[in-house]
Every structure is written in structure tokens, then in C-alpha cells.
């Protein structure tokens, strides 16, 4: 937990934060409304003897009292998909509509991409891209298991992604759930901090900046881009969005979220950020008994 000490000045009730990070994370699933309704899925769980709690902020998210959410009847039939509760936040913030053209830049293994398709009633196009060829099979498998027919899978570096293969030249919305140092996954991956270093944070931040810039360039004027990570590091969060504000035509906008969270930072380690970064959300483990996440919503202005 030593790397997390650097966040003591910015986190309310830091001792509660540390205590939450040391507790194992419970299991959650998302109801796949492409194949079923929330009511039908919960009834099936009850008939299968699996207890659950419905998330207050999102009725499609269920906390299951089982150690094997992937072995349930509902999972086998594609009615539910194992997905950390806080991981379901970015697609909800992106708020895609049926018929939209949406780009999930870093999509594997497909939890958020298939969630986007479900939010669109599986109508439109979700381009699910990932640069890691080894993860593409999991992405395709989840798309097929969950019945996401609106999903197209590509394998490219998002930083120089080309739209020439498509019959359109821009997206309506884009999700950048960027590769990161994964500090916020400490509850489900106790070894998440084993290889932590400032050099790694700075290295991955450079990749994140390139992906976010390309997402903004590939999205239409007035379109929406959501940037998210599962880490606490401001270098990978506010600083990346700040770089986008300085290099691309965009602005940070407000969004509603039914979870407790802290606002984005206006300053870190001597670096000052645009005041609009306070519209971002920092979700800490002790706030909602979840993992950690950062989410910012941007609008393309030109």
C-alpha cells in the first residue's frame, strides 16, 4: 500500500480509503438487456438460488452473493455478464443512443463494448478496438455470447486509428477506457502495486494522451468522448485530460452520476489544471464499496 501514500493529501478520510483497499471486492454482474430484461434475469437468479442486491444507481447492475458469477445459469445463457460495478460507469456516462456510431478504443475483453451495444438496443455500430491481439479472442467471444450483433471488432493501435475501412468518416461518441497503472483494482488484484513506479506511470500517461487525442479527432463536432481509468494517479487522469484541452478542440462537461464521488483535481504536485477538471469524477473504494475509477466527459467543439 506504500505507493498509495502519495494520495493522502487529496483523499477524504484516508484511513477509510486504505481499509477499503485492503478488503476483497465482492462479485457483480451486469444484466445483458440485449437478451433479457432485468426482471427476467433476477427471477432466473432467484430460481437458481443465487442471492443478489440491485445497485441503487443502476438497476442493471447486480451484486451477487456467489464466488462464481460466471457459473450461474444466467451467465451461461448470456443473461448476465461478470463486470465490476464501477466498471459499468463509463458507458452510462457516455450515454449512447440507438443508431449511434460509437468507438470503444480499448475494448477487450468486451464488458464495456457490449454494455454500449445494450444501451443502444443493439442498433447502430459499436467499433470495439484493441491493440492487443491476444485479447481479441475474449472480446469476440463475449460479443457472441451476449448477442451483440451491432459490434465490429478491430485490432489496431488507437493512437493512429484509421476510419478508411468504414463507410463513415467520424464517430458520434467514443469511449477511452485507457490502459493504466490499475491502482484502483487493488481489491480484486492484490498484486496490482507490485510493479508500481513513477516511470511506469509517466510511460503509460504518454500512451493515454495519444489515444484520447485520436478519439477526439475521430469524433464529430458536438460529439461526446468519455475518458476513464481504473487508477488514482493524477498524471494518468487530470493531466491527460488537461493535455487534450490544450491540444484539441474540446471542453469538459458535467454529468449526473448516482454514486458518491470526489470532484477532479484542480492542482497536483505543483501543476495547475483547468478548473473544468473539477467536473470529472474520482470514485474511491470507500465511497461506494467498489473499486477505484476516474471518469471525465468531454464534448468536441470543432
Angle (CA) 275-278-280 rounded to 5° is 130
Please tell me whether 177 is known to bind a ligand: yes
Please tell me whether 111 is known to bind a ligand: yes
Please tell me whether 53 is known to bind a ligand: no
Please tell me whether 35 is known to bind a ligand: no
Angle (CA) 82-88-90 rounded to 5° is 150
Task: Give CA–CA dist 214/227, Å, rounded.
Answer: 12
Query: Which of 180, 182, 230, 250 is the catalytic position?
Result: 230
Please tell me whether 107 is known to bind a ligand: yes
Please tell me whether 112 is known to bind a ligand: yes
Please tell me whether 270 is known to bind a ligand: no
Is there a catalytic annotation at residue 250?
no
Please tell me whether 59 is known to bind a ligand: no
Question: Annotated binding site: which residue ranges?
Answer: 106-112, 130, 157, 177
Catalytic residue numbers read 230
- Known binding-site residue numbers for S-adenosyl-L-methionine: 106-112, 130, 157, 177
Amino acid at each position: 500500500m506504500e505507493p498509495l501514500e502519495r494520495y493522502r493529501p487529496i483523499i477524504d478520510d484516508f484511513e477509510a480509503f486504505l481499509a477499503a483497499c485492503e478488503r476483497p471486492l465482492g462479485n457483480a454482474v451486469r444484466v445483458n438487456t440485449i437478451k433479457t430484461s432485468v426482471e427476467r434475469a433476477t427471477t432466473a437468479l432467484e430460481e437458481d438460488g443465487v442471492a443478489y442486491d440491485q445497485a441503487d444507481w443502476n438497476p442493471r447492475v447486480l451484486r451477487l452473493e456467489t464466488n462464481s458469477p460466471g457459473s450461474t445459469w444466467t451467465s451461461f445463457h448470456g443473461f448476465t455478464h461478470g463486470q465490476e460495478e464501477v466498471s459499468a460507469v463509463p458507458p452510462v456516462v457516455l450515454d449512447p443512443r440507438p443508431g449511434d456510431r460509437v468507438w470503444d478504443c480499448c475494448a477487450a475483453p468486451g464488458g464495456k463494448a457490449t454494455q454500449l451495444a445494450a444501451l443502444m438496443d443493439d442498433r447502430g455500430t459499436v467499433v470495439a478496438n484493441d491493440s492487443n491481439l491476444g485479447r481479441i479472442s475474449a472480446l469476440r467471444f463475449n460479443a457472441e455470447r451476449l448477442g451483440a450483433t451491432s459490434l465490429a471488432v478491430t485490432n489496431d493501435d488507437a493512437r493512429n486509428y484509421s476510419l478508411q475501412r468504414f463507410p463513415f468518416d467520424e464517430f458520434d461518441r467514443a469511449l477511452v477506457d485507457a490502459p493504466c497503472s490499475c491502482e484502483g483494482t487493488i481489491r480484486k488484484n492484490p498484486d496490482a502495486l507490485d510493479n508500481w513506479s513513477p516511470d511506469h506511470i509517466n510511460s503509460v500517461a504518454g500512451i493515454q494522451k495519444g489515444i484520447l487525442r485520436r478519439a477526439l479527432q475521430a469524433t464529430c463536432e458536438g460529439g461526446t468522448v468519455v475518458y476513464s481509468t481504473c487508477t488514482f494517479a493524477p498524471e494518468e487522469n487530470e493531466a491527460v485530460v488537461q493535455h487534450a484541452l490544450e491540444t484539441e478542440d474540446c471542453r469538459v462537461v458535467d454529468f449526473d452520476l448516482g454514486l458518491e464521488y470526489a470532484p477532479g483535481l484542480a492542482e497536483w504536485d505543483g501543476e495547475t489544471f483547468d478548473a473544468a477538471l473539477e467536473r470529472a469524477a474520482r470514485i474511491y473504494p470507500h465511497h461506494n464499496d467498489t473499486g477505484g475509477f476516474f471518469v471525465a466527459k468531454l464534448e468536441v467543439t470543432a
